[in-house]
Amino acid sequence: MPVQVNTIHQQTILEPFTKEYKNILIIKGTNTTIEGPLQAIVKQIPHSKLSEFEPYENSWGKCNTLAIINQSDKHYLTIDEFPELLSFLLSNGYEVDTSISKMLLQNTKVQMKQKLVCVIKYTW
């Protein structure tokens, strides 16, 4: 059975409509295709800088960024809404891999541009 492993991160963005900074949840993986029910609640978001003084690469990296959106009103899920995402993941067959998450969070040699929240696996 195929398995897809993705990471959930916290990313600070400047919300284009409200001009407010928000810490949203994004998903990253080995490719841009997300398997399973999660694909219905992700949306590719444009790369933008938080400040005119910040180099482009520092804010996003060089890969596509998929934001996780709220199904009811289509806003980006924030870190405060992580329990809602967790309920969605667990009720739809995803596994939160706590051992890999701990390993990545505790390993000081692993450098990530965005703050890691957790690692998820989906088997189909």
Q: How far is CA 14 from the centre of its chain?
A: 16
For 102-118, letters b (16+ CB in 10 Å) and e give: eeeeeeeeeeeebeebb
User: Considering the entire predicted model, what is its pTM?
Assistant: 0.83
Give dist(CA 87, CA 94) in Å, integer: 10
Digit-coded pLDDT (tens) for 19-32: 889 999 999 887 66
Give dist(CA 66, CA 11) in Å, integer: 11
Digit-coded pLDDT (tens) for 78-92: 999 999 999 999 999
Give the pair of three-digit tokens for residue 83. 């329990």
Domain ranges of the chain: 3-123
Give dist(CA 83, CA 24) in Å, integer: 13
